[in-house]
Amino acid sequence: MKGVDLLDLKKIVVFLPGRLLPADCRETKFHVSATVGFIHIVAAHDYLGILDKLRVPDDVRLYFEYRELVLPQLREAGVVVEEPDIMVAFLSEMDLPEPGSIEKLRAFVQDVGGFDLSYIMRDLQSHIVNPERSTDYYRIMEEFARVPRSIWREFKRRLVVSLEASKAGTPRRPFRFAFPMTDCTFMVASMDPDWPVIGEDGIRMRTNAVELFTQAAKYDLKTRIGVGLLISKVGDHFLLDWCLIDEPWSANAKLEDLLSTPLFGPARERVVDSYHFRGDNAEPGT
């Protein structure tokens, strides 16, 4: 993506506070410039804490949006908070941060294993079914960067189930779910164990399968964008084939006929939490 295409820029000043820094400077958390607008001012250790807690690019963006919304309100009300107070309020979806919230931050559950996709993103470019479309690599990465942790977690859950199906050699219907805010459908499938995987026939079969499943998932949930992953097993190893489709939704008789069979499971709308704290009913791993 080119700089001129960026529509949402966050201006952030990160500083290393010295021991002699006056208290009023240390407590300054933002500045509104007449020329460039809102500027976040964050101490270096707080900035590292933000990145460590949130991890996912879109969550970092949403945090600074929240920060920009609440800090002027707090200044007007004469309320002084620390960065951990803002973080707790953001993670808990509070209207405004409250002083002294750091105790709750210690209860935050950083379930990296539940949402981390970095290990399957490595060398992603060499696993795209249309390598001649060189921008697909960046577009797939961009689609994941545009969604919150909850979507990464939902993708990871389906990935794990599909991996287990491939490992066991058990046929399983493909998964698909959509995130309406980015108009994108994500698809995860395990290759049918009776289909060829390697050689010319296997490559052709995998390519056709990931494209068809991604196209069908995107069509079924009526989104513009589809990102698909197909998992195949060869001996003790797994093959990952990625696919990106970006085109306006339009009626397609072939896909209608394909979807008349139970290709996917039933779809339902639901709200998924991004963050968990110890003691929450939804806490993972309990």
CA dihedral sign, ordered 253, 254, 255, 260:
positive
Instruction: Please name the helix (run of DSSP H) or strand (run of DSSP E) that holds residue 71, with its range, or none.
Output: helix 57-77
Helix 83-91 to helix 44-54 angle, to the nearest 10 degrees?
20
Q: Tens-of-pLDDT digits for all 286 residues of the chain?
A: 455 455 678 999 999 988 888 988 888 999 999 999 999 999 999 999 999 999 999 999 999 999 999 999 999 999 999 999 999 999 999 999 999 988 889 899 999 999 998 877 766 665 565 555 556 778 899 999 999 999 999 999 999 999 999 999 999 999 999 999 999 999 999 999 888 898 899 899 999 999 999 999 999 999 999 999 999 998 888 888 999 999 999 999 999 999 999 899 888 888 888 898 887 654 443 2
Dist CA 18 CA 150 (whole Å): 38
Report yes or no: 210 and 257 within 8 Å, Cβ to Cβ. Answer: no
Cβ neighbors of 248 (< 8 A, separation 6 or more) are 224
Task: Determine the Cα angle at 275 with ends 70 and 222, to 5°.
Answer: 95
Phi and psi for 188 in degrees, rounded to 5?
Answer: -130, 130
Please name the residue that has the structure tokens 């400077």: 25
- 279: its two tokens: 């003691």
Q: Are strands 37-43 and 237-246 parallel, antiparallel or unpaired?
A: unpaired
Dist CA 18 CA 16 (whole Å): 6
Dist CA 225 CA 57 (whole Å): 19
10 Å CB burial of residue 230 (0-12, 13-18, 19+) is buried
